[in-house]
Amino acid sequence: MRTFGTQKSTDESLAGKLVIVTGASSGIGYCTTRRLAQMEGARVVAIARRRVFRIEALAIQIREQTGEDRIFPLTSDMADREQAQTVVEEIERKFGRVDAFIHAVNRALRLGALEVNDHEFDLTMQINVKSALYGVQAVVPLLKKQGAGGIIIYNPTPKKTADFVASEAVYAAAAHALSALTAGWTRQLDGSGVGIREVAPAPEGDVVETSTTRSGVTHDVLLVTALQEALAVMAPVQPPQSLFRQPQTLRSRGGLTLQEF
């Protein structure tokens, strides 16, 4: 992803930052929640639609270790637009701001493209893609109002097990959709002070070396590093506005030009 505005070093401190993590009760969401709270000193609103007792137990453990409340468990289905919006509004009311949003929800299925039914196809898109869409749409207005923030989209490629190969086409359809959305959000957030990164690790054994896919590095570390990079983005200083603005072309088609004054 491109970098917008002024770039700081990537050792951006996460201590005290308020980070929303979805899919936090298991897998990469759980590991990232633990790393952020335990090792980075961040405050984490950890969201999951089930097994929230795991997050509650982790919150107690971190409180005993640090003497601080750093994890705040929430039960919500981010694949439901209304619930996603309500959760972000509740977080803003309680904490006053949000510094970052991490989409860590991911689902693989076991039905091939020729066998997949409507329910399984729709569920994969709902969980892997729409949960990110609804979360980002809910949190971006707040981040833009603050003039700063970070968004991390976790979009991995699973290992090519026999089960995954059978369903790879359907999973890939969701993954490509998520990448396309992330690219669109990146363009729209250009210059806003809100940094966005897609973390798309390759399966173990594949030779891929980029800023967000390093062999031998755990995925929670990749997410935290990407978050530091995203939060290092700053909005550019705006030049003084002239009293006399030149018209700007918004769209030109068929010999007609739409202009804004």
Summarize pLDDT for 124-133 with one digit per residue, the tens. 899 999 999 9
Marked catalytic residue, from 30, 134, 154, 171:
171
pLDDT of residue 47: 96
Residue 154 appears among annotated catalytic residues: no
Helix axes of 131-146 and 162-188: crossing angle, nearest 10 degrees: 30
Q: Which residues are paired to 260 by β-bridges?
A: 248
Residue 189 has pLDDT above 70, yes or no: yes
Give domain 6-260's CATH number out of 3.30.110.70, 1.10.3720.10, 3.40.50.720, 3.20.20.450.
3.40.50.720
Q: By CB neighbour count within 10 A (0-12 exposed, 13-18 middle, 19+ buried), where does 120 fall?
A: middle
For the chain, the structural domain boundaries read 6-260
Let me know: does 72 contact 95? Beta carbons within 8 Å: no
What is the reported pTM? Answer: 0.80
The angle formed by the CA atoms of residues 24, 2 and 159, to the nearest 5 degrees, is 45
Amino acid (one-letter) located at 67: G
pLDDT of residue 216: 60
Q: Rg for the chain (alpha carbons), in Å?
A: 20
pLDDT of residue 236: 59
CA distance 210 to 215: 9
